Amino acid sequence: MPVHLERPPEHPGVALVTLDRPERANALNPSMLSALAAAWREIADDPELHCAVVTGAGHRVFCSGMDLRETIPAAAALARGETLDPDTFEGLRSVASALLAGVDLGKPLVCAINGHARAGGFDMMLMAELRVAVPEASFGLDEVALGLYPTGNATVWLPRQIPWVHAQELLLTGRPITAQRALEIGLINEIAEPAALLDRAFDYADAIAANGPLAVRETRRGVRELLDLPLADAYARQEELGRPLRASEDAAEGARAFLEKRAPVWKGR
């Protein structure tokens, strides 16, 4: 399978998604798009999963974006009104879901960037709340160099995540940047050596999964919702999100566990 979904027993509550097509730079062909979209749906629907980690197979590329050798001919055939085989059609239909473009996973995502993140791979990375990269990684949006508009997540989310001038540099020049530069402009959280990459990603994921699931879910939701609200509305919405949690069983358990100096046992209610 080009995409693997695992639930490592040593990391309870955390899923691991691996893009496994290293011989083609983990490029997203129709079958991979379908499998990736299905993996995200499974994670979103599983109440036992509280966080996910995504990485790529191999030591060179996280994800190079779309496999243009397969997706462009298929998209052109579809535009001409030709009938595609069901698997290819489903793959093309799954592009937005696979890249989490306009689709909310509903749970925090940690990206372990094992190599170059380009185009669609960059888009997918943008939807991760936390990001760790190897020193050799690079980050780039190649669309303008191909005469294309970057219709994934970049024009929507990149200027919301890093300063305007750095976002415009990536979007308009088409030139990739190094992992060190990505760290400097706040695109990633840290750089880790390849042998430690997944350990660092799981360290973040385990910390998230150990917290109150309701609190994590609503805090993540609040950050997204409040981003574009006027200040007064943002404070009002913050209270709307926070008030039910203060009355929850988990909040009472968190207080008891703190006083008793033990790990809390969350109920998710």
- Strands of 51-56's sheet, edge to edge? 3-6, 14-19, 51-56, 109-113, 130-133, 190-191
Highest mean pLDDT among 144-148, 189-193, 237-241: 189-193
Residues 160 and 169: beta-carbon distance below 8 Å: no
Q: Are residues 164 and 81 in the same domain?
A: yes
186 against 93, higher pLDDT: 186
Confidence band (pLDDT; 50, 70, 90) for 240? very high
Q: Is residue 234 part of a domain?
A: yes
Q: Is residue 238 part of a domain?
A: yes
Which residues form the domain of 218? 213-260
Question: Using one digit for the tens of pLDDT, what is the confidence trace for 28-37?
Answer: 999 999 999 9
Nearest one of 129, 142, 122 to 68, comparing CA atoms: 142
Q: Are residues 59 and 94 in the same domain?
A: yes
Q: Are residues 54 and 130 in the same domain?
A: yes
Residues 125 and 179: beta-carbon distance below 8 Å: no
Q: Is residue 265 part of a domain?
A: no
Among 127-131, 142-146, 158-162, the minimum mean pLDDT is found in 142-146
Q: Is residue 242 part of a domain?
A: yes
pLDDT at 77 > cutoff 70: no
Q: Is residue 52 part of a domain?
A: yes
Question: Using one digit for the tens of pLDDT, what is the confidence trace for 110-143?
Answer: 999 999 999 999 999 999 999 999 999 999 999 9
Q: Are residues 63 and 164 in the same domain?
A: yes
Total domains, the chain: 2
Q: Are residues 46 and 139 in the same domain?
A: yes
Confidence band (pLDDT; 50, 70, 90) for 50? very high
Task: Note the residue count of the chain.
Answer: 269
Cα 159–Cα 219–Cα 268 angle in degrees, nearest 5? 145
Q: Specify the pTM.
A: 0.92
Which whole number is the average pLDDT over 171-193? 97
